[in-house]
Structure 1
Amino acid sequence: MKRLKLKIQLYCGNEIAMGPGKADLLDAIDREGSISGAARAMDMSYRRAWLLVDAMNRCWREPLVQTSPGSAKGGGARLTALGIAVLHHYRALQERLQGSSECAAYLALAEALLADPKASRKGDRT
């Protein structure tokens, strides 16, 4: 059976407030304790990670990530209570959607989908 990949994106205006990559970044921040550590773990630039965190923090009623400046005691980042809740609910929604792969609509799409695309006919003059 062919596999369809369903992706959940939550929008705040034109901004993606939460999606699979941002959820992965939140997991990495929770695990690593910093944005830079999370960025390294995900093989992404610190700037990119910081911009994603900034976008998330601007899209929710409260920030999802709280940062502390570096010092002798060390800086870092942690998920706020809302960040933990949003991540938990997003992962639960992903899980629920994965479980819907036996519904009639999913099966109909999987049946109509080819395993590989047909050869391009661009340039075919017939």
Structure 2
Amino acid sequence: MNLKPQLKIKIQIHCGDEIAIGPGKADLLDAIREHGSISAAGRAMNMSYRRAWLLVDAMNRCWDAPLVHTAPGRAKGSGAQLTQLGEQVLSHYRALQQTLEHAAQSEHYTALAQQLLPEPKISQKA
């Protein structure tokens, strides 16, 4: 199999031992914005409500203010929505991702890719 080497940059911003935001949490924020609830966002991502809620809880505890506002119930205005800070954090995170994606076109990556094998050798002695 002849695969072209690829660069994958995964950005995780930590708050102590907790991931304050990373690719999965950013995707969850996008889904909450789109669906208006944590449970619907979780379903859209094939994730349990509990898992989605735990991720939201972790994010909300890592920033100066919550990223997601929740209003329980079935009445108008219930569900979940991104706060102003949530929108800002998500926007900055996506911009950072986009900036770093350009690294795959850099001369430094090209130099590394030229020396990289398409697959590991079976043995170091081979």
TM-score (normalizing by structure 2): 0.88
Q: Which runs of 5+ in 2 are unaligned?
A: none
Matched ranges for 1:70-109 at <5 A? 70-73=73-76, 75-109=78-112
User: After the TM superposition, which segments of 4 or more aligned residues of structure 1 sit over 4 Å from their partners?
Assistant: none
TM score, norm. by length of structure 1: 0.88
Give me the CA root mean square deviation.
1.6
Alignment map for 1:27-106 (pairs within 5 Å): 27-73=30-76, 75-106=78-109
- Counting aligned pairs with the same residue, the percent is 65
Q: Aligned in 2, Cα 1:72/1:85: closer, same or farther, shift over 3 Å?
A: closer
How many residues end up aligned between the 2 structures? 121
Range moving further from structure 2, 105-114 or 81-90 = 105-114
SS at match of 1:16: strand
Gaps of 5+ in 1: 122-126
